[in-house]
Amino acid sequence: MAGDFRLVSMDQTARQAQQRRPASGVPYLRPVPDDPTASRRPRLAKLLLDQGAITDAQMQAALASQRQRDLPIGEILVTQGAISEDRLLQALADQFGTQVLPADHPPPDPDLATLLPAGLAIKLNAVPLRRAGSALVVMTNRPDQADAIRDALRDHDGPILLALASRDRMQAALTGVYGRELARIAEARTPGAYSCRDWDAPRAFRRWLAVLLAALGALLFAPALVVAGLFSLGVLVSAVNATLKWLALHGVSLPPPQPDPSEMPAHALPPFAQQPVVTILLPLFNEPDIAGHLIRRIDRLDYPRELLDVILLIEEADDTTRAALEHTDLPFWMRAVIIPPGTPRTKPRAMNYGLNFARGSIVGVYDAEDAPEPDQIRKVAQRFLEVPPDVVCLQGQLDYYNPHHNWLSRCFTLEYATWFRLLLPGVARLGLFVPLGGTTLFFRRSILEEMGAWDAHNVTEDADLGLRLARRGYRTEIIETTTYEEANAAVLPWVKQRSRWLKGYAMTWATHMRDPVQLWRDLGARRFIGLQAQLLGTVLGFSLAPVLWTLVVKVFGLPHPLDRFLPVQGYLGLAFFFLACQMLTIYAAWRAAALPRHRCLRPWIPVLDVYFLLASVATWLGLAELLVKPFHWRKTAHGRFSQDGQAAEVMGDQTLPAFSFNRTSNAVDK
C-alpha cells in the first residue's frame, strides 16, 4: 500500500555498498568501485537473458542497435517488442537494487519542485517525490542516470533514494509538478519583438473604423474617384502577384546550383550509423479516432522505431481526444503529452509545450489527418546530413487523398499542387523567404529552440516561423516527399479555414513591419520587396478581386464608374492584361497537374476563378476577425470528406513528381 512505502528497498549487496559510502551519495544505485560483487553484476541485457525474458537473438539485435545509437538498451528492447515496459522496470529494479513505485502511491509533492528545475527534470527523467526523514525519494525511469541525478540535487544534505516508474507515469508526474510553469513559458516563448502577442485589437478596430468611415464619406461625395482608386490598386497588386508567380515558375526551372564543397559537412561515419532520433509533434483536438486512422498512418513510416519519437499533444480540456486515448494502446515509440490549460489555446502553443519533451535532434510536425509517405523520415534524416548548416528547415510537399469528392476538393488539389510543386520551390530558388506550411515540416531542433520556437499567438505560426528563419539568415529547402491530407470539401468550412490562414498572413506582415527599417536590414532589399508581394500582396489581391470583377459589366454593354477615366483603348489594355494573368494561372495549374493522378483534374482549371472568389470572402472574414478576435483559432474538422483506405490507395499510385525541382540528389540551394 502507499502508506507502507517508506524507502526504496535494496538488495543485500546494495546495503553492503551503502555502509561503505557516505549517506549523501547514491550508493545503492551503482556499485562503488571497491564492491567485490561489481564485476559480477550483469548488464541489463544479460540480466534479462539470464532471467529468460529475452532470447539471445533479441539481445544481440538490441546490442547491435545500441552500438550504432546512443540509446538505453532497455528502451531499445521495449521498442523492438522484445519485452514489456513492466518487465523492463522490474529488471532495472533488480539491476540497481531499487524498487518499482507502487501503483497507489500518491503523486509527487509539488513543494519539492524547486529542488530540480523543469528543464533538468525532463532531461534526467526524474521528479522529486517526497521526503522520507532526511532522505529525498526521487521517481525516475532512468536509474542509469543516478550520478547525474545526484549531481543535480547536490544541495540536498541527506541521501537520495530512487523509485522506478513507467514512462507514462513519469510524464504525468512531470506535467503535474512542472506543467503550469511550462505552459506559461510556451505562451511567450517567441521574443516579443517578433511576436504578435502584443496586438491591440481594440486600438486596431478604432483605427480601421476611422478609415472605413472616411472611405464611406469619400464614396458618397466622389464615388467614381474612390472606385477608380481601388481599381488602380487592384490592378497594381495583380501585376505584382503575376510577376512574382512568373519569377517563381522561372526559378523552379533553373538547374540547382552546385554546392560549395567547403560548405558541405564532413561525415566520418556511414549514413546508417548517423541516423538521428526524430521527434514528431502531432497536435490533436477533438479527434475521436486515434486508434484507427492516425496510428495506422504513422505506423507506415519506415524508420527504426527506437529512433522515432512521436508525441501526441492533447489539451487537458479536450475530453473527446482524452477519452479516445484511454481506450487506445499506444506503441512505445508514441506517447501522449497532456497540455495544461492556458491562453491562447492554439496549435503553436501546444507545440511549444511539447517541444520541452522532445528527444530528437530533428523535430517534425504532422497534422491529425496526415498520411506521410513511408520513406519520408529516412529522406529527411539523410537530407539533413547532406545540406550545409544554414539549411535548418525541410518542407515536404502536401497533397490530397480525396481530390474527387466534389468540385471544391478538385480545385483545392490543383491549388496545392501549384503551390507545393512549383511556387514554393521557385520562391526558395529565388532566395526569398518561404512561407511554411503547417505540416510536414522538419527542423534542426537546436535552431528551432534558438529561434524561440513558434509564436503561440499567431494563427499561421508556420509562415511566421519561415519569415523569422529568413531574418536570421537561415534557409528552408523543399524536399521531394509527399504527405497526403484530407481536402476540405464544403464551402463554409473551407471559408473558415482559409480565413484563419489569411488572417495570419495579415497578422504576420503587420507584426514584422512594426520596424520596417530593421526588417529591411535583416532580409535585404530583395527579400524585403518579395515579402510585400508574398504576404501583403496575397491579402490585398484576394480583398480587391471582387472590385476587378466588376469590369464584367462592360461585356454586356453596361456603364462602369471607370468610364469617366478610361477610353475604349484603356479597356482593351485591361482586357489583355487580365487575359495574360489568366493564362499564367492556367499554365501554372496545368504544369503542376502533370502527375498521372492529377491529370484528370485539368478540365477543372477554368473553375479556379470561382474558387478564388471564395478566398475573397475568407479574406474579408479574416480581416474582420483580426479586429475583434485576432488569436481565435478556427479548428478544421477531419474525417468528413474521405473514407478509410483512400490515403493508402492514393499513395500506392504515387509516381514521380510533376517537376523534379531537385534532380541532383546532393544539390544544395545557394
Q: Which three cell numbers stand for residue 571?
A: 479597356
Asked whether the predicted pLDDT for residue 14 surpasses 50, the reply is no
What pLDDT does 657 receive? 40
Q: Name the band, by pLDDT with cuts 50, 70 and 90, for residue 618.
A: very high
Strands lying side by side in the sheet with 99-100 = 99-100, 160-164, 135-140, 126-132
Beta partners for residue 482, in sequence order: 397
Burial (Cβ within 10 Å: 0-12, 13-18, ≥19) of residue 620: middle
Give dist(CA 314, CA 124) in Å, integer.
23
The alpha helices in 477-567, defined as continuous H runs, are 491-512, 516-531, 537-549
Q: Which three cell numbers stand for residue 6?
A: 517508506
The pLDDT tens digits of the residues spanning 141-164 come to 999 999 999 999 988 888 999 999
CA dihedral of 571, 572, 578, 584, whole degrees rounded to 10 = -170
Asked whether the predicted pLDDT for residue 24 surpasses 60, the reply is no
What's the sign of the alpha-carbon dihedral 245, 247, 250, 252?
negative
Asked whether the predicted pLDDT for residue 524 surpasses 90, the reply is yes
Question: Pairing state of beta strands 475-485 and 371-372?
Answer: antiparallel
The pLDDT tens digits of the residues spanning 575-616 come to 999 999 999 999 999 999 998 889 999 999 999 999 999 999
Residues 6+ apart with CB under 8 A from 94: 11, 47
Asked whether the predicted pLDDT for residue 566 surpasses 80, the reply is yes
Residues 6+ apart with CB under 8 A from 498: 614, 615, 618, 619, 622
The pLDDT tens digits of the residues spanning 634-665 come to 877 666 666 655 655 565 544 434 333 333 33
Which among 118, 108, 111, 116 is positioned nearest to 184, based on CA atoms?
A: 118
3-class DSSP state of 185:
helix
Asked whether the predicted pLDDT for residue 33 surpasses 80, the reply is no
The alpha helices in 156-200, defined as continuous H runs, are 167-187
Contact (Cβ atoms closer than 8 angstroms) between residue 344 and residue 183: no
Give dist(CA 261, CA 258) in Å, integer.
9
HEC profile of 226-264:
HHHHHHHHHHHHHHHHHHHHHHHHHHHHCCCCCCCHHHC
Q: Name the band, by pLDDT with cuts 50, 70 and 90, for residue 71.
A: confident
Most confident of 251-255, 427-431, 515-519, 639-643: 515-519
What pLDDT does 648 receive? 56
The pLDDT tens digits of the residues spanning 485-504 come to 998 889 999 999 999 999 99
Q: Name the band, by pLDDT with cuts 50, 70 and 90, for residue 226.
A: confident
What pLDDT does 639 receive? 62
271 versus 384: the higher-pLDDT residue is 384
For 17, list phi and psi in degrees, rounded to 5.
Answer: -65, -35
Contact (Cβ atoms closer than 8 angstroms) between residue 394 and residue 384: yes
Give dist(CA 61, CA 55) in Å, integer.
10
289 versus 311: the higher-pLDDT residue is 311
Q: Name the band, by pLDDT with cuts 50, 70 and 90, for residue 291.
A: low
What's the sign of the alpha-carbon dihedral 324, 329, 334, 339?
positive
Q: Within 10 A of 518 (CB to CB), how many other CB atoms are there? A: 12
Give dist(CA 646, CA 650) in Å, integer.
6
Give dist(CA 31, CA 143) in Å, integer.
13
- Mean per-residue pLDDT over the chain, rounded: 85
Burial (Cβ within 10 Å: 0-12, 13-18, ≥19) of residue 280: buried
567 versus 258: the higher-pLDDT residue is 567
What pLDDT does 259 receive? 55
Give dist(CA 596, CA 589) in Å, integer.
14
Asked whether the predicted pLDDT for residue 525 surpasses 60, the reply is yes
Contact (Cβ atoms closer than 8 angstroms) between residue 451 and residue 602: no
What pLDDT does 647 receive? 59
For 54, list phi and psi in degrees, rounded to 5.
Answer: -135, 160
Contact (Cβ atoms closer than 8 angstroms) between residue 150 and residue 124: no
The pLDDT tens digits of the residues spanning 376-435 come to 999 999 999 999 999 999 999 999 988 998 999 999 999 999 999 999 999 999 999 999
Peptide bond into 106 cis (omega under 30): no
**With respect to CATH, is domain 2-187 assigned 3.30.300.160?**
yes
What pLDDT does 6 receive? 39
Asked whether the predicted pLDDT for residue 270 surpasses 70, the reply is no
Asked whether the predicted pLDDT for residue 617 surpasses 50, the reply is yes
CA dihedral of 536, 537, 538, 544, whole degrees rounded to 10 = 110
Give dist(CA 12, CA 149) in Å, integer.
23
Asked whether the predicted pLDDT for residue 271 surpasses 80, the reply is no
What is the enclosing helix (H) or strand (E) of 160?
strand 160-164
Give dist(CA 316, CA 198) in Å, integer.
26
Most confident of 277-291, 436-450, 549-563: 436-450
Asked whether the predicted pLDDT for residue 38 surpasses 50, the reply is no
Q: Summarize the confidence of residues 455-462 as an average pLDDT.
A: 95
Domain residue ranges of the chain, discontinuous segments joined by +? 2-187
The pLDDT tens digits of the residues spanning 320-337 come to 999 988 888 899 999 999
Q: Summarize the confidence of residues 338-359 as an average pLDDT.
A: 95
Give dist(CA 451, CA 443) in Å, integer.
11
Asked whether the predicted pLDDT for residue 519 surpasses 80, the reply is yes
Q: Which three cell numbers stand for residue 588?
A: 501554372
CA dihedral of 380, 381, 382, 386, whole degrees rounded to 10 = 90
